Structure 1
Amino acid sequence: MPNQTFFPIETIKSDFLQLLSKHHLVVEAETGSGKSTHLPVWAAEQGRVLVVEPRRVACTSLAEFVATQRGEKLAESVGYAIRFDNRFSEQSKIVFVTPGVALRWLSENKLADFDTVIIDEFHERRWDTDLLLAMLKEQQSHRLVVTSATLDSQKLTQYLGGQCLQAKGRNFNVFTVNLCSDSRNMPDIRHIEKQVKETVVSHYQDHRDVLAFLPGRKEISQCLSTLRQALISEIELGTLDIIPLHSSVTDDERQRALNESSKQRIILATNVAETSLTIPGVTLIIDTGLERRTHQRNGRTVLGLHAISQASAEQRKGRAGRVQDGVCIRLYGKAAPLELVTPPELHREELIEPMLASASCGHRLDQLSFIDHLPAKSLDIALTKLQAMKALGEEGLITEHGKVLYPLPIDTLFAHLITAMPDKASQEAMVDLSAALSLYQRLWQMPSSEEKREALLKWEPNSCDATALIKLLRGPVPDCLNIDADLLKEARQLSDQIRLALSLPSLEVASTFRREKWLESVLIAAPELVFVRRQKRRQALGNGFIEVSLGRDSRYSEDAEAAIVFDQFAVPGKGVKQNLVLATCMAPVPLALLNQHQFGEEEIGETQVSEEGCLVEYKKVYAGRVIHSHWAPPQGESAVSSLVDMVLAGQLLAGLSEQLTADIHQWNLYLALGRYQTETCSRPAEAVEVIAWLTEQLDALGIASVDDMELFSADDFAFDGIPEWEREDFDNEFPYQVILTDLTMAIEYHIAKKLVVAVHTSGKRKQDPKRWELPRWQGWRVQYRKASRNIDVR
């Protein structure tokens, strides 16, 4: 970019420098106005500056650009720090960092090395930038500058108690075209690569460079392949360059995307290209209107495909008006009901990481002041989970264990598992698996050919996704798997970084681990990760709280009955309140291991009486699945429960079950009909349940075995309900059962409806009963039910 170019941000330079020493500042300016490159240089006149950029690509690119503009090499007065890569020195006056780096430095020394903190592109409302701003506002130790292209400036200025500056700059005109037959059609992922290809092929010759926005790396890869086939002649002639642009592109791809070229460029980008990055030469935008972002669904953070907000749509459109008039082609309706702005991440995600990060910096998350109030339910869930990990104490303050977890650049749960391992070898295994699962997508896909699947099984014979990932990081890649080399390199870098932080051997000399011992340690440290297979729906597993379905690429065996689920991917399912949770990394474990570690609840099953005596089935049930059972003589409460079951099944005291059931049914009906009279009834006016009453009688008599029961008869268990002198008349008026020739019916009374239902229980009679055959039931409507057929009896 030439030095003589005028940037709109330059109109506020004098006001910025004058106000910066006295106030926090909110700067509102369009992307491409120069705010990301000029403000840090101006602020450096008043001390050392930390610039927080939400994306790694922008962080490195801006640092390189500013250093070049100052005629310096990177890491002199301008540098950057991202994961795996630090390019700055103690003499660097301006350091560009990602939010994760800024939070870590804040926890270490409160950012004492810097005077001004600039948080760029704040409108993206990431949880880490929201948290960083809240803590710096609380500390009041730095001058704060918050910048954005689309922002509610008044609300933010009031929140900071600062001043607002606006840089107005004129972009070139951008003409909008909506390629959709229905003006209200929302963005649609179906056949997206075909739509993008057709749009590019139809319009690219009329423009300089083309920028197409797609929701993710998968769609970019598909479009890249499709376009290369469609435009192969131009590519071979060297007149056309098709370039991916996302958070993990190579340095070469990033340079080709961000720097002008003699070739015409077609850049396929995620929303990383919406802000911060200025891509010269673009005059055509193709906007699919889609992005992948997280959101809360039933208390879980779900990564899903979403339509972008109106603010994002305008941001994307504006990328075409930097050098001349441009065109924005939207693959959705002009009147599509998009959200006004993208909701902040703190409202869309679980708060475990923000809460731990906040505590590591000496703040309680629920006591910080945010622009928007945090959801109370999410705060409670996060606190409960972190306290269960022993990362936070009862007062919500960080523990020594929490201080160990926080610096590890991985998910809090994985950090907890690493530190919970009992030996070095298991700890290393957990480090390697955590590194592999911290990538934005899978390292490998299941081979399609049967031959390669067999080779994969020989290479890793346990059908264990977790062990396979660890082997991939530690050794050569087998021929049966196609691996993304860049992803594997990143996973290995992350593993070595964590190993170094924990003083563990490097990946090259990793310790041999025992799979069974390692998984047993995980099971003990995080029992919520243990799932058992449904007996009928074999694709589903549960842990008593949620259900997961087998992911398409999981190697989980059909013979396995339980697993530790290390990684899940939740997507919206059918219905408003459902999730489809896919288990994407599973490690089979035997049911016996669950029983050994006391998973599940004891339940009493069937009772059997034989010549050898009485035996009861004792079952251990976890998540609705019996994981262990055995037969033993009844003891304690189970003995009484078994005796009750045997009486009601007619195995003990013949005839008592039928008599008790009839007596108690009639008593409850007697009460419901209002026939109870205090002066004639000997028991309280309370409904009775057969099992509870019989259990109470056995306890009162001290009966605890079948041998004890032999001392009693059915007469010893008479139920004193309806007064004896009144019982016969009541039974005639409201019979419990009606027996006709070849037909026996149980009688149901629906008192509120004044309805009697005679339910067929036995008998070979084919004709329905007639009204004259039945009791009078004066004033009641009568129905007859047989199977699913219900008729009125007249």
Structure 2
Amino acid sequence: MVQLPIDPLKSLFIEKLAHHHLVVEAETGSGKSTRLPLWAAESGKVLVIEPRRIACSSLAEFLAAERNEPVGKSIGYAIRFEAHFDDNTEIIFATPGVALRWLSEGQLTEFKTIIIDEFHERRWDTDLLLALLKDQPSEPHNKQRLVITSATIDSQRLTQYLDAEHLKAEGRNFTVTVEHLAADNRHSPDIRSIENKVSSAIQNFLNNPQDQAKKQGDILVFLPGRKEIALCQSKLKPFSLEFGIDVIPLHASVSDTDRQRALTASQHQRIILATNVAETSLTIPGITLIIDTGLERRTHQRNGRAVLGLHAISRASSEQRKGRAGRIAAGHCIRLYGSAAPLELITPPELHREELTEPMLAAACCGFRLADLAFVDALPEKALLQAHDRLLAMKAINDQGDATEHGKRLYPLPIDALFAHLITAMPDKAATEAMVDLAAALSVSNKPWQKTNSEEVLEQLTQWEKHHCDAMLLVKLLRESTPEFLTVDDERLQEARQISAQIREALSLPQLDVATSVKRDAWLAAVIKAAPELAFVRREKRRQALGNGHSEVTLGRDSRLSDNAEAAVIFDQFSLPGKGVKQTLNLATCTAPIPLSLLIEHDLGEVQVCDSQLVDGQCVTRTQRIYAGRVIDEQTQNSKDTVTTALIVEMIESGQLFEGLADQRRHQIEQWNLFLKLGLLDETSCTRTQPTELTTWLTEQIEALGVESLDDMQLFSNDDFIFDGIPEWEQDEFDERFPRKIYIADLHLTVEYAAAGKLVTVVYQSGSRKQDPQRWELPRWQGWRIKYRKASRVIDIR
């Protein structure tokens, strides 16, 4: 077996593991991901948690090959859709999602050691797993050990958090030299013309005379996403012809063929274009050159939403990337940014960057409340409250934060908590199956189909799916054979079908080939009933925008929503950070058109009285239903007899009933509220002790009088509505000290009082006088500051 830098730690690791949790710090390429599981297995069964599926399968395959045995015998793995292990398997590599599900089912107790690898990535599921495992009770004689590993963790803080022992492996097999290509040493990573920068760096490296071993090794390029990988693939095609180099993509969604080409040694020189998936755990043989763009795409919170944005990597990540070279020979790392670029020290934890709905449900299903767990970094209070409210609305947790039976049914489903809720909330089998298939299609990393600008194809698409409904199109794609005119990603479509099959099996539903036909309108009505916040209406002027009263979305380029659709269910959104101080841009990527009548049927929005008038003894009332700032319905009603208290109050306030009463009582109420704020209340002479406002007071009076019709109002006059505020003998004096209206030469002014700060604001209403009011013209207001406001201009009056 090849000697690795971590090997000298073996005896100390085994000795310490018998009595302590361990934090193991070792450079990338030191062998920690392959050696530690084997050492830990000497004392019992081992679970190794790897952040990525591709790392789980690749590490298990590598170690099984080292033992010259098939995967699943003594070394296996478990990822979504795949499980290669049995009861006798000694070491199992698993993703955090699988491990969390096993924990909720009590299946982690069989493991003597649990290793969380590459903890520095700070994924929410690994942070949660660590917090849950740290809090798990265990027998003293059968203590379960935790091992946390990474090349770039804050080891001292984590050691204290776990009350663990710290081990560190020194050195690596080969050195890696670093070169920065930025013109200025403070230049940050930059996405502009990234394919040209990568091509130029590789070209210069291959053409310059230097160590032939480095030139002949493979090249690993770190890029932020699939789009940039595609751009670079196209730009680097000439290298295949000129130098005979294979250009291979590597990201979470690549085919098994490309994955094997990237992870298996080749006789041809290779350029591997990879996302962060290649940053940790994976052993890519033959790499001697790293091209690091210094960029990644990750989520962060903006305006209350988790958005996916382009970010410069942290210094910890830059070291991880550098460490992918220097395993078989001396390596070289070219960074396309300055040596003093202002990078963060470590990548912020995902629990601080994303919504906490899924972590909270996962914790609850494991028997813990997320807010009660001790994390390496404390969780943000606002995100905890938002997650709690959302899960309460879904009935997934109770008021105490414990998982309900409904929540326990949602959690095992391999999809977003909202989709899991919608699936279980459907009223019949047909709607449930449709929701399962849509959720599966929206759970894959990339859209299974691509929209085209071809008018002919769009016409064919409309004939195939006539409702211009993105949701129904995805359901049909999963259930039916793919139309020839549609551009489809077969791998993503197959993955979506696998997810659907898994959920269908878990819920005892028919499989896709015998799926139940669904009535679209009834299905969407059930969705609105279960999650009314998914119903959006178009803005009347900005037709590309839709709102639901809480947020606004803009139609994404791939949405097929018709221009004639005035409302839609928005099943999926993609959030992008706005530039500068602009708001987050939320793109609607999966829509389903619905009629406005469906919103009315589900009583969405608020009904407001526009106006009420007396016409020939009848009260004629016009009401509007308003949803997300738009009128979606309007009604006119005539009433001879019974009218609501609210309508009578409105008619009084508008002067249609008891002319002048509203103005008189409004003044008295404003003065009473000021009287209270100034601390002048004498409970021996006042029957009222609390502030109020006109509408509330009038409502109380009408209800106390027992008014049921407009005819009843003929029995009363203004004198029947007496406000019992400031004692009558004090009212005139108080009005003189604190007037609400002031008339001086050619000026009509109103007065506002801020009692807490003893501030008077005199406000211009009308008048031809250009000169500002003078202090001697105004009431005394001794001890108060005085300001004068005219339009947007505010000045002090001294």
TM norm. shorter chain > 0.5? yes
Q: Tell me which residue corresponds to 1:366.
A: 371
Q: Deviations over 1:644-669 (max 9, x none)?
A: 54456555566x47985998699899
User: How many angstroms does 1:301 deviate by?
Assistant: 2.7
- Tell me if structure 2 keeps the 8 A contact 1:465–1:586: yes
User: How many angstroms does 1:373 deviate by?
Assistant: 2.8
Q: Taking structure 1 as reference, are residues 749 and 188 closer, same or farther at Cα in structure 2, changes over 3 Å only?
A: same
Q: Tell me which residue corresponds to 1:764.
A: none
Q: Tell me which residue corresponds to 2:547.
A: 542
Question: Where does 1:285-324 land on structure 2 (aligned, <5 Å)?
Answer: 285-324=290-329
Q: Residue 169 in 1 paired to residue 174 in 2?
A: no
- Tell me if structure 2 keeps the 8 A contact 1:64–1:74: yes
Output the CA distance in 2 between the equivalents of 1:122 and 1:770. 70
Comparing 469-478 with 297-306, greater Cα deviation is found at 297-306
Q: Tell me which residue corresponds to 1:104.
A: 101
User: How many angstroms does 1:241 deviate by?
Assistant: 0.3
SS in 1 for 2:543: coil
Q: Tell me which residue corresponds to 1:31.
A: 28
Q: Deviations over 1:312-336 (max 9, x none)?
A: 0111122232233333222222222
Q: Taking structure 1 as reference, are residues 561 and 657 closer, same or farther at Cα in structure 2, changes over 3 Å only?
A: farther
Length-normalised TM-score, structure 2 = 0.85
Q: Tell me which residue corresponds to 1:475.
A: 480
Query: What amino acid maps onto 2:225 in structure 1?
Result: G
Q: Tell me which residue corresponds to 2:193.
A: 191
Q: Residue 152 in 1 paired to residue 157 in 2?
A: no
Q: Tell me which residue corresponds to 2:593.
A: 588
SS in 1 for 2:621: strand
Q: Tell me which residue corresponds to 1:439.
A: 444
The share of aligned pairs that are identical, in percent, is 56
> In the alignment, which of 322, 329, 344 is matched to residue 334 of structure 2?
329
Comparing 267-276 with 43-52, greater Cα deviation is found at 43-52
Q: Tell me which residue corresponds to 2:225.
A: 216
Output the CA distance in 2 between the equivalents of 1:211 and 1:49. 32
User: How many angstroms does 1:694 deviate by?
Assistant: 6.3
Q: Deviations over 1:603-632 (max 9, x none)?
A: 222123434722112333333333333222
Comparing 426-435 with 450-459, greater Cα deviation is found at 450-459
Output the CA distance in 2 between the equivalents of 1:443 and 1:512. 21
SS in 2 for 1:8: coil
Q: Tell me which residue corresponds to 2:212.
A: none
Q: Tell me which residue corresponds to 1:559.
A: 564
What is the root-mean-square deviation in Å for CA atoms of aligned residues? Answer: 4.1
- Tell me if structure 2 keeps the 8 A contact 1:243–1:266: yes
- Tell me if structure 2 keeps the 8 A contact 1:602–1:621: yes
Q: Deviations over 1:175-225 (max 9, x none)?
A: 323232333232222332333233333334452321111111222122212
Q: Taking structure 1 as reference, are residues 67 and 639 closer, same or farther at Cα in structure 2, changes over 3 Å only?
A: closer
Question: Where does 1:286-685 land on structure 2 (aligned, <5 Å)?
Answer: 286-574=291-579, 578-611=583-616, 613-633=618-638, 639-643=644-648, 645-646=650-651, 649=654, 651=656, 656=660, 660=664
User: How many angstroms does 1:166 deviate by?
Assistant: 1.8
- Tell me if structure 2 keeps the 8 A contact 1:244–1:267: yes
SS in 2 for 1:632: strand
Query: What amino acid maps onto 2:372 in structure 1?
Result: Q
| Equivalences, count | 772
SS in 1 for 2:367: coil
Output the CA distance in 2 between the equivalents of 1:366 and 1:691. 42
Q: Deviations over 1:681-737 (max 9, x none)?
A: 999999997666766776676665554555667788899999999999x99x99969
Q: Tell me which residue corresponds to 1:17.
A: 14
Q: Residue 45 in 1 paired to residue 42 in 2?
A: yes
Query: What amino acid maps onto 1:168 in structure 2?
Result: E
Q: Residue 279 in 1 paired to residue 276 in 2?
A: no
User: How many angstroms does 1:783 deviate by?
Assistant: 13
> In the alignment, which of 256, 271, 277 is matched to residue 261 of structure 2?
256
Q: Taking structure 1 as reference, are residues 642 and 554 closer, same or farther at Cα in structure 2, changes over 3 Å only?
A: same
Q: Taking structure 1 as reference, are residues 649 and 412 closer, same or farther at Cα in structure 2, changes over 3 Å only?
A: closer
Q: Taking structure 1 as reference, are residues 219 and 603 closer, same or farther at Cα in structure 2, changes over 3 Å only?
A: same
Q: Taking structure 1 as reference, are residues 60 and 685 closer, same or farther at Cα in structure 2, changes over 3 Å only?
A: closer
Q: Tell me which residue corresponds to 1:179.
A: 181
Q: Taking structure 1 as reference, are residues 635 and 289 closer, same or farther at Cα in structure 2, changes over 3 Å only?
A: farther
Q: Tell me which residue corresponds to 1:134.
A: 131
Q: Taking structure 1 as reference, are residues 448 and 204 closer, same or farther at Cα in structure 2, changes over 3 Å only?
A: farther
- Tell me if structure 2 keeps the 8 A contact 1:175–1:327: yes
- Tell me if structure 1 keeps the 8 A contact 2:641–2:711: no
> In the alignment, which of 214, 225, 234 is matched to residue 225 of structure 1?
234
User: How many angstroms does 1:243 deviate by?
Assistant: 0.5
- Tell me if structure 2 keeps the 8 A contact 1:606–1:616: yes
> In the alignment, which of 744, 748, 751 is matched to residue 750 of structure 2?
748
Output the CA distance in 1 between the equivalents of 2:224 and 2:533. 32
Q: Where does the alignment leave 5 or more consecutive residues of structure 1 unmatched?
A: 762-766
Output the CA distance in 2 between the equivalents of 1:666 and 1:364. 47
Q: Tell me which residue corresponds to 2:114.
A: 117
Query: What amino acid maps onto 2:227 in structure 1?
Result: K
SS in 1 for 2:576: strand
Q: Deviations over 1:392-431 (max 9, x none)?
A: 2344333322222222111111112111112111111111
Q: Taking structure 1 as reference, are residues 389 and 23 closer, same or farther at Cα in structure 2, changes over 3 Å only?
A: same
Q: Tell me which residue corresponds to 2:62.
A: 65
User: How many angstroms does 1:310 deviate by?
Assistant: 0.5
Q: Taking structure 1 as reference, are residues 660 and 636 closer, same or farther at Cα in structure 2, changes over 3 Å only?
A: farther
Q: Where does the alignment leave 5 or more consecutive residues of structure 2 unmatched?
A: 209-214
Query: What amino acid maps onto 1:32 in structure 2?
Result: G
Comparing 67-76 with 486-495, greater Cα deviation is found at 67-76
Output the CA distance in 2 between the equivalents of 1:29 and 1:753. 65
